[in-house]
Structure 1
């Protein structure tokens, strides 16, 4: 069935900029020479380099969502490992399976009891390839002794630990063949003491204060996440899931970034939303939706944003225009839709469309269309842009203007 381009919505789409951002932080963990070996990723309040953590689960979900779905692993971690804090709830949640083990160290908060359930979970995570750290250690308690065999790093808080306790604590960790990290190092005397005691890595204001980072605000709304979560929980048919995803381009952009972070990228790149869903699988999509609800549920608007509506209209226009030009080529229509989504996807506040090359694992044809306006998809994108400005898109498609 052919679709008339003139039948599409005539509502103009505003040229919006990605002004809204979400904040998190990054503090280096360095070696004795001061060279970064890892970064701790930190929750930060909007508009400031500070934190008021009321819910440690939501705070860590925020950090994971910003890193995997916002700034990306390479930019955030600079090829190093990222330390993230975990309370008991998130430690036991399969949401952790979204976190690629080769890139992160899971830092168990000091208030997590080392009961049998937690110890079993730590053993399973290490077998799955995750590295673990025990956070904010100040004394050699029974809790610490019980945790030592289950972790790879022990972070000792120099602000809390007494100078008399530090040698005994460091000796016990070194005898267990675990790596020692001295945290809250605020001056040269503490740094020198930590070195004498055999600490391997160091963190604190003496080296660097946490660096504030920003990630683009996802173009999502609470209603869309809730509907998608319900569909996934009830095992909805793929076509039903696709219909919901097509109505919410912000989720599509997030899932594209997730596929990069988790290494789920089909050979040749992703050419459609269906291919993206197949590559990730419903379980990963459901985990990601839950993570976003946990992280951003109270921040998100109740209705789609103007930018989300603009991206959805552009993507639908391009898909219908593709069907008009080549009625029997479903693949072109699917690729045209994804091109439309990508052309208005939120980027870093200082980013450009060229960042698409590394941020989104799409086919070369889609990249060429968005970056350079090349190919059939580029012509469709230019037609959409002409249409949005009130012009006649038919001329861009090599068709009579009548």
Structure 2
């Protein structure tokens, strides 16, 4: 049985990530209809996979929100988890049976934080609600009037309110004004401004460099000159190619780095560094998302028969998948100004081609839309047994690299 584990960020009002909800499902479509015994067996399998992946790799120093139904609560699985970095998220259909309430009361006494999932105004189980500290308000299932009533009523009771399934920045801003504490959804990964972002400094260099690197025969001297006029980018890139993430060779100049690493390898690191510089005023989670997608798609290409030899293009596609948000322009406009291959452009426009299905598989997994995984995987001859492993490896790689690049930022600031 396959276990799929993904994560979805939860933000505070300042768009800082404070937690991740772990989205998981096994490949058995009848999981929620099995007997108690098989349900507990599946729960044990789930938790073994959870511990195998490692919560530190999935959420780092953040908190993990994990869903539990009544039978999982009865199995005492929650007690295996830490009170410090786990929120017990109760599904909305859990009923206040005496045994269930007893288990929840014990969790509260033991110091666990409890949240109620997919909350709506007419939620009937007040006994459970009284035991929760966090209410996750479903923005798709409640009207705006109902959301206002929920906010007004439960803020007075001292509950923390989390707006979930927030799909647009307009909804995020509205929820913030209402007084919501936390926010969840893919609003942060969509453009929300009509006016395009003004690019300065390293941000504008990214487009120049990308254009130069995509030429049929890239000019080393031209690329070197572009990099060298940006002291911060030069410093970061030279340190990266000297780091444990590269060849371990001491690099004395940008030109030497290009010569030793080659255009393909250098282009990958350049894209990452430039992407980070574009995001200085934006949620850092967006950069992590791009890094994870890039490595996830690259791993996918390694393991999918139909994608052999396409690793570099898929990795680049992952990095560029958030460029529309960073530039605050529709992707249809962004791709017009970038020298991308026809298949990459078609993918971003949702048109049929070789890269569309791995890209859709990546997005579906990321968003917990697990029902579509098998169909997309079949289209690219990809073994679903590999999917969670590739995703977790991509998360670990992205988190490590992101931390390293942030350390370089701080080192650069302090040394000047």
Structure with greater helix share of residues = 2
TM over 0.5: same fold? Answer: no
TM-score (norm 2): 0.42
Larger radius of gyration: 1
Bigger RCO (CA 8 Å, 6+ sep): 1
